[in-house]
Structure 1
């Protein structure tokens, strides 16, 4: 076995070498900033049949290839209440998967879906905001579903 190298004597010091400190990031990396769920904090009350109503937050959108039956926006104090009712040809699991992905992208985390009497319900939360997705039983190839959201205006 070869002998260990002997350090060269330090000039003018104690013979100890002190390395500079390297700053390390501690903890989790900073989260990406989440988008505002309400683009307009004070939309006007409105309802529509067969289409999306003006003032509906962008996060509340139908599953692609759906037929919208109704939508609404209502402001009560510092809460904006929104709803969307539609039908699609996709099955319940695909409707839920669509919203898990869409809502997850804006930081809305969901609780596991619960089923009762053929209806499946899943609620998504972020801070004081929430959206509940309710998917009904398919009839004649159409799966009905609704979204009901409660968003804080921060006022």
Structure 2
């Protein structure tokens, strides 16, 4: 039987690799440009991206589960994927808006500014993408923990 720690490590690695593929290779350019726009256009683009992203992660979870005999629960795996998808959507609706500290900025962007990151977010064009990726990776760890919890 595989230990919980080994299941977690295998799943975190698979979800993280699938994150990179789903976030960059599988995402359509039009969705990448539009996903942070307000209104229906941005919402639809982000939902399309997150659907493809989540499908990519689901394939990775299934492959690792089978290849390594992790015996993951389907329900827990689905819950982990849902957590990853929902939190991915929240961050990606912020696309291109990380320097915006106005009251109508997305909640996650306002949180980053309240946490003291305004100077960095305004002055470094890489700050927003780095905050986005840090958010994703943190939630991926929690998604892996949910998915690999007790049988």
**TM-score computed with the length of structure 1 as normaliser:** 0.30
Larger RCO (CA within 8 A; separation ≥ 6):
2
Larger radius of gyration: 1
- Structure with greater helix percent: 2
